[in-house]
Amino acid sequence: MTTEYIEANRANWDERATLHAARDGSGYGVLRYVDDREALSDVVRFDQPLLGDLTGKRAVHLQCHIGTDTLSLSRLGARVTGLDFSENAVAEARRLVAETGDDVDFVQSDVSRATEVLPAGEFDLVYTGIGALCWLPSVTEWAGVVADLLAPGGTLHIREGHPILWSMNETLPGLTLAFPYFEQPAPLEWDDDSTYVEVSAPLQSTRTYEWNRGLGEIVTALLDRGLRLDALIEHDSVPWEALPGRMTLRADGEYALTEQPSVMPLSYTIRASKPV
């Protein structure tokens, strides 16, 4: 059954990739990366202080979508490969860097099979951006892939929506926990023709499946694969309006709760390393 879930998600993300890569100003507004060869995505700009110096580092960006964060890592000096399970996303990412001139490679693969298409044990950085882990059925499997890809001394950097946020039902009044916090065998099922940015048309492949998991489960999965936890930082903001009508856009492109922004974490960053 898991394969059926993944294929439904792939069909949805194939459509999203085409819409997100539009050149009409909608979606991700990708022409800004063409017009300004030093532009960084808001996500990577937020991550930059914790990423440190990437000059010459061999990096892989898992679940890279259309490559805006991937090319941003390249602009910070890394030699980057992006990986995504969507054929359309990889095609759009390649199209984008062909226009921008950034030297980035892209491969199509499910995260679970990443070591079949990428060299194991050779990456100084494994990067995973916001809104990625919820599409994977097993955090333990993901942690194993990360550990296998990293070179000794290499680092995982992930910033992700907080499990508390994923547990909330945005349609209910107040801040209401309604969905599982801990990883479950069966995913949550959604049917929605919209996406998280403004696009020019509704989605046709509307059914998707997501899995949440607790912060402790994520950290433990990494520790069980021999990685060392170097940093765990919780943030009071996210880069999209996760709770519509209850959030304020900050100058850095991040959304925070309008009232009582300190009442709950909205995202987190984990830095973990593979011992030498």
Show the 3-state SS of the chain: CHHHHHHHHHHHHHHHHHHHCCCCCCCCCCHHHHHCCCCCCHHHHHHHHHHCCCCCCEEEEECCCCCHHHHHHHHCCCEEEEEECCHHHHHHHHHHHHHHCCCCEEEECCHHHHHHHCCCCCEEEEEECCCCHHHCCCHHHHHHHHHHHEEEEEEEEEEEECHHHHCECCCCCCCCECCCCCCCCCCEEEECCCCCCCCCCCCCCCEEEECCCCHHHHHHHHHHCCCEEEEEEEECEECCCCCCCCEEECCCCCEEECCCCCCCCCEEEEEEECCC
Closest CA to 11 of 83, 67, 87, 82: 87
- Please answer whether residues 221 and 139 qualify as being in contact, where contact means their C-beta atoms are separated by less than 8 angstroms: yes
Closest CA to 62 of 5, 107, 29, 97: 107
At 18, give phi and psi (nearest 5°): -60, -45
pLDDT for 233 equals 98
pLDDT for 118 equals 98
pLDDT for 235 equals 98
Task: Quote the pTM value.
Answer: 0.96
pLDDT for 167 equals 97
* Residues near 53 by beta carbon (within 8 Å), at least 6 away in sequence: 77
| Residue segments in the chain with a per-residue pLDDT below the cut of 50 | none
